[in-house]
A and B are shown apart, each in its own frame.
Chain A
Amino acid sequence: MSATPAAAAPPVVGRQGHYAGAVTRLVAFAADVGASWGIFTLALAGISFAVDLVTGNQINLGSRQFVALFGLIVWEFIYFAYQWSLAGKTIGMAVLGIRVVSKDGDAITAKQAVVRTITLPLSFLFFGLGFLGILLNKDRHAWHDRLARTVVVYSWDARAARLRWLAKQEPTTPV
């Protein structure tokens, strides 16, 4: 039994550029929600500490929930829109090895990134009905993908991963 999990089985090969599946996208989104909320909470704590340090007054967001919610919405918009327009991927997507591209495969524009971010909540309506398209459509379109004319594809180099895995194995016979 090997110590590293990567040595257990060779990774999947040859999916770069293919439409990403529902599980990978869901996990990436969950990771992004965690990351964005974590960063938002840390930032609030930092601001609260700085204000407390300078003025001696503590910020109590409990009485300003609307402000906190508005700040969170603005932050989420910046988090997703900025990263998508910059590299076509968020932190969670980078970890899972997927990225957003235009419907034809080109890099997405800043406009598409903004439209996708704004329309993302629409897919949550009616118990997440908008996400069903990832499972049912041939282009794996969610509602916000359709509106922004984008698709999500695998971007990680599984071939390199396989070579790394093979490299970990002991050489059998010299060539």
Chain B
Amino acid sequence: MKTATFKIWRGDAKGGKFVDYSTEVSEGMVVLDAVHQIQAKQANDLACRWNCKAGKCGSCSAEVNGLPRLMCMTRLNDLPLDKPVTIEPMKAFPHVKDLVTDVSWNFHAKKKIKPFKPRPPDTPDGTWRMAQSDVDRVQEFRKCIECFLCQNVCHVLREHKLHDEFIGPRFFVQVAALEMHPLDIEDRTEELKQAHGIGYCNITKCCTKVCPEGITITDNAIIPLKERVVDNFYDPLGRWVKLFRPKT
């Protein structure tokens, strides 16, 4: 059987180094399989997060050969195995151990988003009617598996560390899912502008490139949200029109 070498980051917040492991590889293996094999046979205490192993839970995010990936969906036969495969933790979050980072900031950021607020039910039985086409519009955003790879590559978080002023692409996707939800009547533009810091995004589209679910984060979520903010706060003509338009 073929073997391959994996350079895996070992260490904790105090520091660490790459350690080489060589392990057998077989047909169809993904990076996470190699990590598990190494964990079972050579390094029982090698820390890594994972759950579903099918690209549905978003737990096993890491940087493979420098690229942000889900380890469970990265096939070994798509990587050059003649040289070592490097596996490192995500860089935008505090390091915990080996391949594990502290992603708890994301769970705090999520809480800042105003919750779903539906319009009153459409029928006396308390239910709503929605067209499939209206539902389809937001399904793209609701595919998000919260792997936080988009947060990891966003320079506002990764380089500039503006975690207190900016919620990051993942949560703009969530705000977009709420704002474009056929039933939602909440207005989140004030927060987008202030607390969520959408102005910091300068549309480099790095988030879109790394999304394992293929969500067009920048074009479909962030830009329309930016437009809403602009319409509400910066559009003089729009303001003028609003003055005379009856409230809906």
Q: Do A and B bind each other?
A: no
Interface residues of A (CB under 8 A from B): none
